[in-house]
């Protein structure tokens, strides 16, 4: 098998290509998440208590969407039909529509010097060495019209923890996370300017946005509409933004000045990175984003030989690979320091 032979050489970076399928996107098009332009018949159909959205068949969905002038549901990532282990890279199936993350991260740097067994494989099991870092305790919705109505969601009865000391430290970690802590190499921008990404106006719908009727709407305002109450390390997401979020009543002007162009590029980058991903908070008070298929209780793990942290899901005595993730504060050698100081340890992890 291609994946097995690749990983047995100790380089696990190809695991970054693994993405768990999402299924249909638009079965949960409910009025409370839709612009006011949605027709009354569509709203009544979706709110019929004897017709819950999760029970709708494809034919019924086509009918409802036709009432509102919509198209049938969008299949985000078609499930793999080859019955392969979760750690296997399927080159035949549709790839995830997420924007690629940078390749310079070295979350596992320093772990190469830690004595442990090599990567081994038997049947469908891949045994690797890694460090369990954290557990997902809060998850945003990745889209207002996604299938799962439970998002945003969080673990109940949990004392909030902030690994970034205070609100200011958390806000700094948030805007860095929204950009995956990457700057524009071609035109460096000051830290103070990058913080404007948290400006309330950036997360507000304009009249142009409200009237939009496109099939899939990604954007920071759409993200905010559904996730403003998301709990992040003891704060609501809305509490971490700066300034008022008053609506913009004029159509967007084409950016002309260098400052406007830079702002447009920053917002575009954050929008692309969040699309098809979920913002998360963890048990230890960290923030980041993960693939949209992630759930509460999934583990954040750094594997020896993989520069990107991975999301793994416990399943009996093994784990399933869900996808790569970004977690602010563990992306460049911090994990090896934790191991050497004795705060955590390397362990053998069975992937199936």
Residues 64 and 179 in one domain: no
- pLDDT over threshold 80, residue 115: no
Q: What is the mean pLDDT of the chain?
A: 77
Task: Let me know if residue 323 belongs to a domain.
Answer: no
In a domain, 318, yes or no: no
Q: Do residues 158 and 264 share a domain?
A: yes
In-domain check, residue 1? no
Residue 324 contacts by C-beta under 8 Å, 6 or more apart in sequence?
15, 16, 18, 101, 291, 308, 309, 310, 311
Residue 31 confidence (pLDDT) above 90: no
Is 130 or 89 the better-scoring residue by pLDDT? 130
Q: Are residues 64 and 158 in the same domain?
A: no
Last residue of a domain, one of 57, 73, 89: 73
**Average pLDDT rounded to a whole number, residues 53-78:** 49
The residue among 284, 325, 249, 294 whose CA lies nearest residue 16 is: 325
244 Cβ contact partners less than 8 Å away, ≥ 6 residues apart: 200, 201
Q: Residue 190 has what pLDDT?
A: 67
Most confident option among 4-8, 96-100, 200-204: 200-204
The backbone region for 315, taken as left when phi is positive above 0, alpha when psi lies in -120 to 50, beta otherwise, is: beta
The owner of tokens 């793999």 is 80
Q: Which of 28-42, 99-113, 186-200, 282-296 has the largest mean confidence?
A: 282-296
**Domain contains 202:** yes
Say yes or no: 251 and 154 in one domain.
yes
* 206-257 confidence digits (pLDDT tens): 545 544 444 456 788 888 988 999 999 999 999 999 876 555 444 455 566 7
Distance CA 149, CA 89 (A): 29
User: Which position has the higher pLDDT, 182 or 320?
Assistant: 320
Confidence of residue 74 (pLDDT cuts 50, 70, 90): low
Do 147 and 68 share a structural domain? Answer: no
pLDDT at 101 over 90: no
| Three-state secondary structure string covering the chain | CHHHHHHCCCCCHHHHHCCCCCEECHHHCCHHHCCCCCCHHHHHHHHCCCCCHHHCCHHHHHHHHHHCCCCCCCEEECCCCCCCCCCCCCCCCCCCCCCCCCCCCECCCCHHHCCCCCCEEECCEEEEEEEEEEEEEEECCCCCCCCCCCCCEECCCCCCCCCCCCHHHHHHHHHHHHCCCCCCCCCCCCHHHHHHHHEHHHHCCEHHHHCCCCCCCCCHHHHHHHHCCCEECCEEHHHHCECCCCCECCCCCCCCCHHHHHHHHHHHHHHHHHCCEEEEEECCCCEEEEECCCCCCCEEEEECCCCCCEEEEEECCEEEEEEEEEECCCCECHHHHHHHCCCCCCEEEEEC
- Say if 321 falls within a structural domain: no
Nearest to 130 by CA among 328, 295, 318, 326: 318
Contact 232, 287 (CB under 8 A): yes
Residues 150 and 272 in one domain: yes
Residue 31 and residue 149 in one domain: no
**Total of domains in the chain:** 2
Least confident residue range of 113-122, 210-219, 228-237, 339-348: 210-219
| CB-based contacts of 263, cutoff 8 Å, min separation 6 | 196, 255
pLDDT digits (tens, 9 = 90+) for 131-153: 999 999 999 998 766 766 778 99
Under 8 Å CB-to-CB from 32, ≥6 apart: which residues?
A: none
Among candidate residues 234, 257, 277, the one where a domain is terminated:
277
Tell me the residue range of the domain where 240 lies. 143-277
Q: What is the pLDDT of residue 99?
A: 83
Q: What is the mean pLDDT of residues 115-119?
A: 64
Pairing of strands 310-315, 318-327: antiparallel
pLDDT of residue 55: 44
Residue 179 within any structural domain of the chain: yes
The answer to whether 335 and 113 are in contact (CB under 8 A) is: no
Please give the model's pTM, rounded to 2 decimal places. Answer: 0.81
């Amino acid at each position: 098998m291609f994946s097995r032979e690749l990983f047995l050489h100790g380089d696990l970076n190809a695991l970054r290509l693994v993405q768990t399928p999402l299924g249909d996107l638009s079965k949960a098009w409910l009025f409370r998440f839709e612009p006011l332009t949605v027709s009354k018949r569509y709203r009544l159909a979706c709110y019929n208590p004897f017709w819950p959205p999760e029970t709708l068949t494809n034919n019924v969905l086509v009918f409802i969407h036709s009432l509102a002038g919509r198209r049938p549901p969008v299949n985000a990532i078609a499930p793999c039909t080859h019955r392969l282990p979760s750690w296997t890279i399927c080159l035949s199936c549709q790839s995830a529509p997420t924007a690629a993350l940078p390749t310079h991260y070295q979350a596992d740097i320093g772990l190469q010097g830690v004595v442990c067994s090599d990567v081994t494989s038997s049947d469908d099991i891949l045994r690797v060495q890694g460090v369990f870092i954290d557990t997902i305790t809060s998850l945003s919705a990745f889209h207002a019209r996604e299938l799962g109505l439970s998002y945003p969601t969080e673990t109940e009865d949990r004392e909030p923890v902030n690994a970034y000391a205070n609100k200011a430290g958390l806000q700094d970690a948030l805007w860095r996370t929204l950009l995956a802590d990457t700057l524009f190499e071609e035109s460096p921008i000051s830290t103070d300017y990058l913080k404007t990404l948290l400006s309330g106006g950036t997360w507000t719908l304009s009249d142009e946005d409200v009237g939009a009727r496109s099939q899939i709407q990604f954007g920071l305002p759409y993200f905010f509409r559904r996730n403003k109450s998301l709990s992040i390390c003891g704060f609501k997401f809305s509490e971490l933004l700066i300034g008022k979020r008053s609506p913009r009543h004029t159509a967007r002007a084409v950016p002309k000045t260098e400052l406007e162009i830079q702002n447009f590029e920053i917002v575009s980058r954050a929008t692309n990175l969040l699309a098809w991903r979920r913002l998360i908070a963890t048990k230890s008070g960290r923030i980041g984003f993960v693939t949209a298929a992630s759930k509460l209780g999934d583990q954040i793990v750094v594997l020896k030989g993989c520069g990107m942290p991975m999301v793994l899901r416990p399943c009996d005595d093994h784990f399933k690979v869900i996808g790569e993730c970004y977690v602010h504060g563990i992306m460049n050698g911090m994990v090896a320091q934790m191991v050497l100081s004795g705060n955590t340890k390397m362990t053998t992890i069975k992937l199936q």
